[in-house]
Structure 1
Amino acid sequence: MTKGRPTYRRLRKYARRGGASGGQVASSPALSSLPPERTLSEGLSSTPVKTIAKPATTSGKVIAIKQFEYIGSFNWTNSSKPTIIVPGSPPLWRGRSLPYRVPRDSGVRYVDQTGYHMPSYPLYPLVRAVDIIAVDFVTDRNGLRKLLRWINEDGTAKEFRIDTQLAGRRTVLLNRWEKKTREMPSMQYSTYGFSFERESTNKAPGCAQASGYHRIVKYDFDGLTMVVRFEVDACIPTATSESAPRSQTASTDVDSLSSMLSGLAVASGASNGPDIDKDISTAELDVMRAGTLVPQSSLIEMTTRSRNNAMNYDWIEAYPQLFLSQTPNHYLAVHSRGNFEEITKRALEDAEMQRIEARLQGSFRKLRAALQTIQDLVVEHGERGRLSLVFRDGALQAFERKSSESCLPENTLRRFEGL
């Protein structure tokens, strides 16, 4: 969810982060208990191994997402041990009658929920979904959006870091890295986005313990096979999502997920509730089996804006969030001091949105070129290489990490051998 704030570019980082995992309120320790921000250079060598040139302006064929496929999903819980609910479910859109008022946002919220729960293995819940398929990149949508901001030269790029690692012969893992995984709301500006999400949705059946819902998809990006994880704000309820917390849409989906998730998928048989499944849990991660498979067509990205700022919504910045995950529905909710008066609903396939995509084709072609450069660099440094991409002072540079620690458990990393 993209939360409302008075000035979009100035306060964009207070909101989500690009997609993944900030639309949920965390547990609420005192502000003083939050750790200090990390520095971008933490654990890195002082001299870069390469400065990555920004791709030149390119013309050519249209960049389209092809062979799009859902391969998994999960919700986090707030258990003391990292615990996910599989396949989980997004919150269900309530469709409340307008207007209605929500309180201002408060409490500690996630910037990077997965990074908070599994700081050593941020891709671990995702990578369990790709152990039998050869891919070029495994990443959060957040990382792709950061690279696009670097490419676009429109003032939206803030300094960032992405840790990389080679898995197998050619699969590049792009690990999200944030200065902080949780934050408090601004004391200077009032926002209402988190409260709007809470007041406008219901928990899905079987997912009362659920926090952020994360979806994993695979697609072809102009010849690169991408596995992308992203957070979903809500979904349009279906008969299945409202009434069948553990049912599946089709037996073929169950078989496919069971294979791709290596045992993490929901079983087709009924049970008494989302207890820990000890047979498929690991030392690093507990798994509950609950929720239902949600169709891609029902997914919603929600954005809030004040009445004064709604007309200035920056679609060139926001559209890639929908495009890179193929999220089909966008709801722009407009409020006056928390009183929500209007919700504009747009579909990814609308003519207006297609025109925005056409304007961004040059950026998508540059992103494709940049990903190729990154893949070549990571492959060159091999499986023992540990490179981090750092953008600051207008330059994107690759640095070696001092530690040789892997971003995945060794037994999981071995599944990429030969791919």
Structure 2
Amino acid sequence: MSVYTGRSRGYSSSKGGAFAPQRQYGTSPSIEEPPKRDLLEGLLPGLLNNIGQPVASAVSVDIEDLQCIGSYNWVNNTKPTIIVPGSPPIWKNKSIPFRLQRDHEICYIDQNGHRLQTRSLLPLFRAVDIIAEDDADADIDWREVDIVTDRNGLRKLLRWIDSRGDGDRPREFRIDLQLAGENTVLMSRWEQATWAPPSQGFGFSFEEETTIPAPGCEKSTGHHRIVQYKFGGLNMVVRFEVDACLEALPTRTAGRVNVDDMISQLGGLSLSSTSTSSPSSTTSNTDVSIIRAGKIVPQSSILEMTTRSERNVESYDWKESYPQLYLSQTPHHFLAVHRSGMFNQIKKRNLEDREMKEIHAGIERSFRKLNTLLKTIQELVIGHGQRGRLSLVCKDGALKVHERKSQDSFLPDEVIRRFGL
């Protein structure tokens, strides 16, 4: 599979949609759609189970005890390469109005899956390990974790929960599952295509115009953040993409490096080779090479950006968009309004605003159902043991459980062993 250069950006004609693609440079808007995989690819015939609509948990499922445990930026290289801890682009508070051209770059739907395919969870663990090396307080006991997932998977499950039957079927999706240790469920993102042609919106152009790369991350193709929190009794580790940050103040830092030089050095390394892990150094760990650079920014500074035409901004679907903020505890949301590419307003909201709390109250029952569903999935995966290879498939509005043909693991053995057994 060819690897495209690019920057990480949200996916839909106006960004902020269901997927999380990344910007691509030097491409033509006339490029054809990539071939799509069959939703049932690699699955055994028949099905194991149907999952019914969950009952809402009777107790509060507020997100508690959140901490950032890792972060990284992808860079374009023939070998999968991440900057750790990396940094998101920095919001530069550009004055309005200004005019932009439509997006014209190819974008990733799932950059982790595009670059690592069957081991898309691996950079999450590599990034967390690097941060733990630098800060003993950031170490994590993986045996106590219940769910490891991308935020994207939680949002897909929520859409299924909120569907109202045949007249309002959720999008088809698949999530692959694996048990690690005694209790931990690994939820691996699965997409029919990992990239898409250019959209007709302005979301990518807006982010390019209103942010600057963080020092040491000039060649970044997307920033990902990993947080741990409690969610109604479940110990969650959640990875998600960050559009930008409002400040560049570090909580932890890595040394400044010349990323071009580091990538040149990586070009001569084998994927199994290693080097020192001191600041400003490069290492290669199984399938992911590491560049040490960037800063972990405070959770309070991270930002989600969306663009909308002034014709439809009033119908912006908060029931669809709010979970993206809540499930990652992204505090800031900027909704940029334009008329044919002329941006004249930016509506800024914070998770603590009264309006946002009202939105939360309206969909809080769905979060309680999600908590119940995650516990059902955990019981199912535990029941099929270490050799179980299950997949959730949503098709025609039904959520079904299938077995995969392959016994391959999402992670190398040395990573799986940290979960115990």
Q: Deviations over 1:164-199 (max 9, x none)?
A: 00011110000000000011025xxx3111111111
Equivalent in the alignment of 2:75 = 77
User: Using the alignment, how far apart are the partners of 2:70 and 2:208 within structure 1?
Assistant: 24
User: After superposition, where does 1:247-286 map in structure 2 within 5 Å?
Assistant: 248-249=250-251, 253=252, 266=254, 270=255, 272-274=257-259, 275=262, 278-279=275-276, 280-286=283-289
Q: 1:218 aligns with which of 206, 224, 228?
A: 228
Q: Is the 8 A contact 1:3 1:305 kept in 2?
A: no
Instruction: Please list the CA deviations of residues 329-366 of structure 1 after superposition, one character each: whole Å capped at 9, or x if unmatched.
Output: 00000001111110000000000000111111110110
Note if 1:183 corresponds to 2:186: no
Answer whether contact 2:34 2:196 (CA < 8 A) is retained.
no
Partner SS, residue 171 of structure 2: coil
Deviation at 1:163, TM superposition (A): 0.3
Cα deviation for residue 5 of structure 1 reads 3.8
Superposed CA deviations along residues 99-143 of structure 1, whole A, max 9, x for unmatched, are 111110112111001011100201001133377332000000000
SS in structure 2 at match of 1:281? strand
| Structure 2 unmatched runs, 5+ | 1-8, 130-139, 267-273, 277-282
**Do 2:57 and 2:371's aligned partners in 1 also have CA atoms closer than 8 Å?**
no
- Written as runs of structure 1 = structure 2, the 5 A alignment for 1:71-150 is 71-128=69-126, 129=128, 132-133=141-142, 134-150=144-160
1:161 aligns with 2:174: yes
Separation of aligned partners in 1, 2:212 and 2:89: 5
In structure 2, the residue matched to 1:261 is: none
1:322 matched to 2:341: no
**Aligned residue in 1 for 2:4:** none
**TM-score, normalised on structure 1?**
0.86
Contact 1:3 1:303 in 2 (8 A): no
The alpha carbon displacement at 1:304 in A equals 0.4
Q: Secondary structure at the match of 1:18?
A: coil
Structure 1 stretches lacking a partner, 5+ long: 7-14, 241-247, 255-265
CA distance in structure 2 between the aligned counterparts of 1:27 and 1:41, rounded to whole angstroms: 34
**Alignment partner of 2:419 out of 409, 416, 419:** 416
Q: Please list the CA deviations of residues 393-412 of structure 1 after superposition, one character each: whole Å capped at 9, or x if unmatched.
A: 11000100011111111222
- Report SS of the residue matched to 1:360: helix
Tell me how far apart the structure 1 counterparts of residues 95 and 293 of structure 2 sit (CA, whole Å).
30
TM norm structure 2: 0.85
Three-state SS of the structure 2 residue aligned to 1:118 is: helix
Q: Hey, what's the Cα distance between the residues in 2 that align with 1:34 and 1:81?
A: 25
Residues 5 and 305 in structure 1, CA contact (< 8 A), matched pair in contact too: no
Change (3 A) 1:407 1:100: same
Q: Distance in 1 between matches of 2:360 and 2:22?
A: 25
> Could you tell me how far apart the structure 2 residues matched to 1:171 and 1:370 are?
15
Q: Distance in 2 between matches of 1:3 and 1:382?
A: 36
In 1, are the aligned partners of 2:216 and 2:293 still within 8 Å (CA)? yes
Aligned AA (1:185): P
CA distance in 2, matches of 1:30, 1:415: 45
C-alpha deviation, 1:320, in angstroms: 0.3
Which position in structure 1 is the counterpart of 2:18?
18
Which is further off, 24-33 or 205-214? 24-33
Which runs of structure 2 are paired with 1:213-362 in the superposition (5 Å)?
213-238=223-248, 240=249, 248-249=250-251, 253=252, 266=254, 270=255, 272-274=257-259, 275=262, 278-279=275-276, 280-362=283-365
Amino acid at match of 1:42: E
1:60 Cα offset (Å): 3.1
Asked if 1:51 corresponds to 2:50, the answer is yes
Task: Give, as a single letter, the amino acid of the residue that structure 2 aligns with 1:208.
Answer: E
Q: Is the 8 A contact 1:3 1:192 kept in 2?
A: no
CA contact (8 A) 2:306 2:336 kept: yes
Residue 271 to residue 192, structure 1, CA distance change in 2 (3 Å): closer
Aligned residue in 2 for 1:39: 38
Q: What is the distance in 2 between the residues matched to 1:98 and 1:350? A: 24
Question: In the comparison of the two structures, how many residue pairs are matched?
Answer: 380
Tell me the amino acid that sits aligned with residue 278 of structure 1.
Answer: S
Tell whether the 8 Å contact from 2:336 to 2:347 is kept in structure 1 after alignment.
yes
Give, as a single letter, the amino acid of the residue that structure 1 aligns with 2:51: I
Counterpart among 215, 237, 259 of residue 205 in structure 1: 215
CA positional deviation for 1:30? 8.8
Residue by residue over 1:37-77, the C-alpha shift from the partner in whole angstroms, topping out at 9 and shown as x without a partner, is 10100011121100011113x36333210010110000000
Tell me the distance in 2 between the aligned counterparts of 1:354 and 1:298: 19
SS of the residue corresponding to residue 284 of structure 2 reads: coil
One of 49, 62, 65 as aligned partner of 1:64: 62
When structure 1 is superposed on structure 2, of 270-279 and 337-346 the one drifting more is 270-279
CA gap 1:151/1:271 in 2 versus in 1, 3 angstroms: closer
Deviation at residue 4 of structure 1 after TM alignment = 6.3
Equivalent residue for 2:269?
none
Q: 1:293 Cα deviation (Å)?
A: 1.7
1:412, 1:70 → 2: CA distance?
Answer: 20
CA–CA distance in structure 1, aligned partners of residues 16 and 195 of structure 2: 11
Question: In 1, Cα distance between the equivalents of 2:241 and 2:394?
Answer: 24
Q: 1:272 to 1:204 in 2, by over 3 A?
A: closer
